[in-house]
Amino acid sequence: MLTTESERADVAREVELMKTLNGRNPHVVTLHGAFEDHESVQLVLELCSGGELFDRIIEKKSYSEKDAASVVRQMLEVVAVCHLNGIIHRDLKPENFLFDSEQENANLKVTDFGLSTFFKAGQRFTDVVGSAYYIAPEVLQRGYGPECDVWSVGIIMYIVLCGKPPFYGRTESAVFNSIMKSKAQLEQNFKKEPWSKMSAGSKKLIKQMLNPDPRGRITAAQALASPWISIDGVAPSIPLDISVVSAMKEFTGYSKLKQLALRHMAEALDEDELRELRSQFAMMDVDGDGVLTLDEMITALRKMEQGEGRTPISEEEILEIVESLDYDGDGQIDYMEFVTAAMHIGQKQRGDKDKWKGQVQRAFSSIDKDGNGMITAEELQAELTALGETKESIAELIKEHDTDGDGVISFEEFSNILRARAASRTRSRAASGKFDSKSSRGSRGSRR
């Protein structure tokens, strides 16, 4: 079947992807080897004799939220590891999850990386691939990134809990129309049975995973910190969140005024919003002393492995991040310094708009000491001087963000500082527009 160079490249990429993931997570099917002769290419995969996900669910006489949480946790661990290694799966569906044995406690394994690809931070793809029920709305709009994998797991979680997909249609186009109206559709669905019997935690997580705005969608690592995921009392192994790493790298490019604004914003967050960042900090803080040393940062950030077109984060870059985050200059990163740089500010502002505005107002008020609704150079001087700024540079910082030229920072200008991005998104070169449906592509795995 490999009649063109493009088809050969697809198989070569699939092999490279699986090699990158080998040994990284127990929920990824292992590639033992790839061999080529004059007639074919053979991929030797780990034997998964336990059957497909839904077959196992149907066999069980009863299926609880506890069982569902265990399944979803394993899926999210796979997605988090893929994204950390710069891989987007693009075809997560129940048929591509197999159990490795017939035992009750068998591991769930993801397979079929035929539509998967490597990605770089900020890269957007335009080719529509995947299976109809599980495709994210941004894929249909031809501008998507790794967030689409979280949407697919959210769809599977919904099905695992109630037995049918949230967005349905008799034809492919009808399914797509339903997906594009997903927010209203989901609200309607939750008013029907069996959702009245489901926990509030399960519905909250589904809403977060099926957020139609990918910029506000929860990441896989954040979802793993959800209380519902550990509903059975087993704490999940939360891997390093790629969005946390990206946020910290982006933080080094911000002006000192934006860094200060973010610090006050971080202090305005509530405990619920800090939960996932606390788990990330604890994962990186190996000795548990409440601060991150340079060595701990290097160990954690080097988990970003090198994939095709990717370079691992260098020690110089890590040192730059540490120096940028180290607000008090003690050579270590405490929890609030970490939160300041690592919080997902884009997700916060696209969530509850009123809550976001309230947090920004509290952050603004904590700098606006006299409460006159304006931040002056004098009010900034004490904190920014500690960051190495002079009176002259503080005046320049105000000028940079003072859009109306009145010499002070208003609440609106302060809000704009928090909204501004440090770098523009890069566009994917992919533009084939080819749709690969379930009917034209079966799932690939080693089955008995």
Q: Is 353 exposed, middle or buried (0-12, 13-18, 19+ CB in 10 A)?
A: exposed
Query: Backbone phi, then psi, for 31, in 5-degree steps?
Result: -95, 115
What three-state secondary structure class fits 42? Answer: strand
Residues belonging to the chain: 448
CB count in 10 Å sphere of residue 213: 14
Residues 6+ apart with CB under 8 A from 149: 79, 82, 83, 88, 89, 90, 92, 220
| Cα 90 to chain centroid, rounded | 14
Residues 285 and 292: beta-carbon distance below 8 Å: yes
Q: How far apart (Å, rounded) are the C-alpha atoms in residues 33 and 55?
A: 28
CB 349 within 8 A of CB 415: no
For residue 47, the SS3 value is coil
- Respond yes or no: is residue 91 known to be catalytic: yes
- Angle at which helices 242-251 and 315-325 cross, to 10°: 70
For every residue of 304-350, DSSP letters joined together read: S---TT--PPPHHHHHHHHHHH-TT-SSSEEHHHHHHHHS-HHHHHT
Catalytic residue of the set 91, 112, 241, 368 = 91
One-letter identity of residue 75: M
Angle, CA of 112, 118 and 123, to the nearest 5°? 130
Please give the positions annotated as active site: 91
